[in-house]
Structure 1
Amino acid sequence: MTDKKALRKHFKELRLSMSAEERKQADVAVQQAFLDSEEYKSCTTVLAYVSSDIEVSTAEIVRKALKSKIVLCPRCEKNGNIMYFYRINSTYDLKKGRFGIFEPDERCEKYCVFDNALCIVPALSYDKDG
């Protein structure tokens, strides 16, 4: 099963087959590893996607980062092919976007420079080589 589409299908089914408690435990482990990392502790800005049900939850990471970091979340623009990052100051700055995914509302400030930033990239699965 080396085909990307087949791998994606396999891992999506695997994630969906987990009980809610198993998913929560796995999410908490990932969140804690991230929050305990030296990279997180030393950065000033966190770029974070707002997770959907199938993805590892980023909610706790965003909530904690808002206390001491600049938090930027993506918003799809125009026809959905362009994405920019906007600063959120609380989770109340997030509204359902075009694809049903929460994203920063129109009042949020757009950012184009990311100094000392750490980016959380959504991935269904990966190995040590990415």
Structure 2
Amino acid sequence: MQEKKDIRHQILTKRLDIEKEELYSKSETICNSFLSLPQYQNADLLYIYMDFKNEVVTKQIIVDAHQKGKKVAIPKVQNDQIVFYYLEPNDKELKEGFFGIREPEMTKPVKDKSGIMVVPGIAFDEKGYRVGYGKGYYDRYLQENKVAQKISLVLELQMIEKVPYDAYDIPVDMIITEKRLIHCR
């Protein structure tokens, strides 16, 4: 079985080779599938990443959540862990933070631990295990904070047969690609 670092390099290289038009088209399909989920429609709080390095573009979901009056929380790396902060609809000035990921001014940390979380990653298998960026931020956060549902938005090229995992790795519950919806486990 391949090691995570090899998988990370291989899939990230493929993802970075995608043309922007193709990325936006596939992202729109994936986001529309996500927006139609009852889990999303019934959620009051959405934890979601700010896309970078050709990840599925999340802006459409963030705009929709704000329009529907949902609370939106995005991560910021602080002291080698992620902390989620509310993203207000009027937060237009996002600044580059850790890894170059856009972050808003961090003034309102999330206290509510409910909601659904859109979990990023580089490679995924159908059991919901993922290869992230190698720091374990989401796995550590999810061990300490339970959310109602963990969903990943993934380009089909990020799907692999089997992700190597350890006891501390936390799988997602659902994966949405431009071709399918996968209920994990």
Given the two structures, how large is their TM-score scaled by the length of structure 1? 0.85
Paired position in structure 2 for 1:82: 81
Paired position in structure 2 for 1:129: 127
1:1-24 CA-partner distances (Å, limit 9, x unpaired):
622122122211211222222211
Alignment of 1:1-130 (within 5 A): 2-68=2-68, 69-77=70-78, 79=79, 81-90=80-89, 91-92=91-92, 94-106=94-106, 108-115=107-114, 117-130=115-128
Asked if structure 1 preserves the Cα contact closer than 8 Å seen for 2:23 and 2:54, the reply is no
More moved, 41-50 vs 19-28: 19-28
Asked if structure 2 preserves the Cα contact closer than 8 Å seen for 1:15 and 1:23, the reply is no
Distance between the aligned counterparts of 1:124 and 1:74, measured in 2?
17
1:81-106 CA-partner distances (Å, limit 9, x unpaired):
02211111124153222432111213
The aligned amino acid for 2:113 is F
Q: Which runs of 4+ in 1 moved over 6 A?
A: none
The Cα shift of 1:37 comes to 1.0
Q: Which runs of 5+ in 1 are unaligned?
A: none
Distance between the aligned counterparts of 1:126 and 1:111, measured in 2?
27
Q: Which runs of 5+ in 2 are unaligned?
A: 129-185
CA gap of 1:98–1:7, structure 2 versus 1, over 3 A, is closer
Paired position in structure 1 for 2:152: none
Distance between the aligned counterparts of 1:54 and 1:17, measured in 2?
9
* Percent of aligned pairs sharing the same letter: 28
Asked if structure 2 preserves the Cα contact closer than 8 Å seen for 1:74 and 1:104, the reply is no
Asked if structure 1 preserves the Cα contact closer than 8 Å seen for 2:16 and 2:53, the reply is no
- Number of matched pairs: 126
Distance between the aligned counterparts of 1:39 and 1:23, measured in 2?
25
Point out which structure has higher relative CO (alpha carbons under 8 A, 6+ apart): 1
